[in-house]
Copies of this chain bind each other. A is one copy, B any other.
Amino acid sequence: MGTGELDPWGTSSVKDYTRLRTEFGIDPVAPLLSRFKKLSPHLSRGIDFGQRDLGRVLDAIEKNNPFAVMSGIKPTGDFHLGTKMTADDMIYFQSLSKKTTVYYAIADIEAYADNGLSFEETSKIATRNVADILALGLDPDRTVVYFQSEEVKVMRLGTVFSRGVTNNMLRAIYGERQIGLYMSALYQAGDILMPQLPELGGPKPVLVPVGADQDPHIRLARDLAGRYKDEYGFIPPSSIYHRLMLSLGGSDKMSKRSSSTLLTLEDQPKDATKKIMSAFTGGRDTVEEQKRIGGRPEVCPVYDLYRFHFARNDEHVKQVFYECSKGVRLCGECKQEAAGLVKSWLDDHHKRRDSLMGDARELLAKSRDFLSSAGK
C-alpha cells in the first residue's frame, strides 16, 4: 500500500471489530470474497467485515437454490445513511441470484409504541420508505414488504418463542432490560424466521444484513432456530455485518438521536450541505500543521461519507484517503467536494423516489395479498 500501516479500509475502532470475532464468534468476510462473482462497494472497501454462516448463502447462490434476505425499518421518518447501508446490502444480495426473495418488515407497532406515531402517519412514511428502497435498486418482483401490525405470522412466532425462552437466556443476550425490549426482540426473531415457515416455502437459508451493533438479535434468532428445529425445521439464519459510520459530530455511530449530525434521505440538499460544512473532521489544528503531518481520515466522518456512500468508485475513496493522509487535501475543499456529491446524489434520489411512489403502493398491496393468501 505504500504508506506503512495506513489502511483506507480500516477504522479507529478496528480493535473492537477484532473483539467481535474472538468473543462472539463472528467470522471475517475476507476469506469468502473469492466466492463472489462481483464485489459490492461494501465488500471491496471492507465495510462488510464480519459474518455468520454466510457460506450457506453462497452455497445457495452457487447451486441456484432459493434463499431469502430479511431486513426492515422503523417508519419514523428518518431513512438515514445507516438504514441505507443495510438496504444496500439487501439489494446487492438480491441481485446475486434470481432465487432470492427479500422480506422487508415495517415496524409500525414499535413506531407507535416508542414514538407515538399514529398508524396513518407511519403508513404514509412507510410508503415513502418503500419508494426509497426501490430507488436504491430493489427488485419489487422478488420482494415481500409487510407491516408488523398486519402480519399475524410474526406475532404468532413471537408468542410461541416467548413460551420457549427463559428469562436467563434473554438476560444473557441483552442484559437486564424492560420487558418491552425483550418482546420486541422476540418479534424480530419472528421476522427473521418467518421466511422459513411452511406456507412461505419452508426451511431455507436467510441472510440478515445488519450493523455490528445488532448482533444480539442475530444470536437470539439463531438460538431460537435451534430450539424450534424439530417443530419447524429452521435453518439457523446467516448474517453479514457492516461497520458503523461516524456521526458528523465525529463520535459514536450515526444515529437518529441527533439530527444535526445525521444525514437522512429526507434531507433537502441545502440542509445536507450545511450539516456537512459544519461537520467534525480528522483535520489538524492549523492548515500549516495539516500540510506538514497530514490529516486523519480514519477518524473523519467526512471521509466516511466518501467511503460508505458517495465516492464515485473505490479508486476515488483511496484517492481521498491518501491525499488527506499526506496533507495535500485540506478539510474545506474536501467538504465542498463531499457536499457536491451528496447534493447531486440526493437530487437524483429524490427524483427517482418520487417517481416510484405508485410502484411502492403497488408493492405493498401485492405483498399484502401474497401474505394473507400464503398457505391457503
Which residues does A use to contact B, with CB under 8 Å? 109-110, 112-114, 149-150, 152, 155-156, 159-160, 162-167, 170, 176, 178-180, 182-184, 186
Task: Return A102 CB to nearest CB of chain B, in Å.
Answer: 24
Task: Return A88 CB to nearest CB of chain B, in Å.
Answer: 29
Choose among B109, B159, B167, B178 the residue that contacts A166 (Cβ–Cβ < 8 A). Answer: B178
Chain B residues with CB below 8 A from A150, complex form? 152
Are A149 and B149 also in contact (CB < 8 A) when A159-B112, A179-B170 are? no
Main secondary structure of the interface of A (DSSP, over half): helix
Q: 13 additional contacts, CB 8 Å, given A149-B155, A162-B179, A179-B179?
A: A109-B155, A109-B159, A110-B159, A113-B156, A113-B160, A155-B155, A159-B184, A162-B178, A164-B180, A165-B178, A166-B178, A167-B179, A179-B183
Chain B residues with CB below 8 A from A184, complex form? 159, 162
Report the bound CA distance from A183 to B189 in whole Å: 15
Choose among B164, B170, B176, B180 the residue that contacts A159 (Cβ–Cβ < 8 A). Answer: B180
Can you list 29 A-B contacts (CB < 8 A)? A109-B156, A109-B159, A110-B159, A112-B159, A113-B156, A113-B159, A113-B160, A114-B163, A149-B152, A149-B155, A155-B155, A159-B180, A159-B183, A159-B184, A162-B178, A162-B179, A162-B180, A162-B184, A163-B178, A164-B180, A165-B179, A166-B178, A167-B176, A167-B178, A170-B179, A179-B179, A179-B182, A179-B186, A183-B183
Chain B residues with CB below 8 A from A155, complex form? 109, 149, 155
